[in-house]
Amino acid sequence: MGVSEYDAVVVGAGPIGGYLAAGLAEGGVSVLLLEEHSEIGRPFQCAGLVNPHVMNLTGLHHTVLSPIWGARIHSPSGTPVVIGDEGRIRTWSVCRKLFDEGVVRQAIEKGARIWLSSKPISAVIEEGSVNLRIRTPEGVKDVRCRLLCGADGAHSWVRRHFKMGRPKELMIGFQVEVTGYRGQEGRLDMYTGSRIAPGFFAWAIPSGETTRIGTWSKPGLMGGESCEQLLDRLREEPLWRNRFSGCKEIGRFCGPIPSGMVKRPMIGRVALFGDAAGLCKPTTGGGIGPGFAQVDLVTPHLLDALKCDDLSDGRMSEIAGLMGPMRRSQRRSKALRDAFLTESTDSELDDIFAVWARPEVTELINDIGEIEHPIPLGIRMLREIPEFRSLTKRAVKAILLG
């Protein structure tokens, strides 16, 4: 069998890979989308939240399980901060299988081809092309492309094969899907404390007839325990044990959360996207919003490079440079997270929550707080709330100048 030729090969048919393939195909180039699993959207390792901007871009409202308009955030000792307004949707809880399938279907409708149960086993950059060997259900196939894109997740084969660097942080998350959780419709719950999510937080997200309950942290902060053990401790905590007493588990998921853009997200003829590039938000672990933003930012420039047939190291480095503000935003967001959460003791967190719970501060959070863009709120708090200046002095420079 001869060599198949495409302008671009996208490895990974998750939402980022599917959205990228759609953008490239719409730009008039031939695209092959590779997915190592036999179906789209399985397995998924995500809380399943999609922000309003991404939902509007895709139009996949039929995949929504619950609109999320508010939150109850709990301090280690149980102090709640209740935020949100039913008239303002902050994010959407979706069926990830339907959402992922919808994004990939849009790529196919725009001309992309897809190979399921297929993954690259070798890749060599030569003058004018990347030559791939791909293991497929029909055997090993040879493919030649002008641009290779890795949208293949936290443990990206493309990133490792071409030694493009590592994400600055790699967190680990564990999540169960349950029935019977006693929450509030439209509000997610967040729980903090070193016993259940050291340095980070746990969550309970309404998802239609079920709830997704999970926790995440850094391995180095967990004292040898697993996220599963931390989640069990959350469900047994006397402060809110009654919310979990009627839960019946129907599924569980575990996976890494890479954050902090890799050193070289693009080299000659190769580009990384989404989790593969380390684009998860350090404040929430979400990756779909940043991944879509990256695709929108660089796809027009990649199409121009393909049109001119200039995907040299220099040209790809120029395109990667456009992501400088994203890299700085990640660094600032991490500093904000560290100051208010990761580097705070349980006692300090209780002090922070006591301030957040004041009506004027809760009003400020409701007015300008955004899941996707936490920096403006963090800066306002530093400037306007004296108590936070001492709590966050270690991060002021990084947040304001990073």
Domain residue ranges in the chain: 4-46+96-167+259-325, 67-94+171-258, 329-401
Distance of CA 12 to CAs 86, 100, 273, Å? Answer: 36, 11, 10
- State which of 38-42, 82-86, 197-201 shows the largest mean pLDDT: 197-201
Distance CA 226, CA 174 (A): 9
Is a pLDDT exceeding 80 seen at residue 400?
Answer: no
Domains 4-46+96-167+259-325 and 67-94+171-258 share a fold: no
User: Do 16 and 274 touch, CB atoms closer than 8 A?
Assistant: yes
pLDDT value at residue 401 = 46
Token pair listed for 32? 């092959």
pLDDT digits (tens, 9 = 90+) for 63-121: 999 999 999 999 999 999 998 989 889 999 999 999 999 999 999 999 999 999 999 99
Q: What is the mean pLDDT of residues 145-174?
A: 96
CB atoms within 10 A of CB 137: 9
Helix axes 346-356 and 359-368, enclosed angle (nearest 10) = 80
Tell me the sheet residues that pair with 207.
210
Dmax of the chain from CA atoms?
A: 70
> What three-state secondary structure class fits 121?
strand
CATH 3.40.50.2000 matches 4-46+96-167+259-325: no
Nearest alpha carbon to residue 323 among 257, 261, 383, 387: 261
pLDDT value at residue 350 = 94
CATH no., domain 67-94+171-258: 3.30.9.10
Distance of CA 269 to CAs 146, 178, 266, Å? Answer: 6, 44, 8
Tokens 């069926």, located at residue: 95
Tokens 């001492």, located at residue: 390
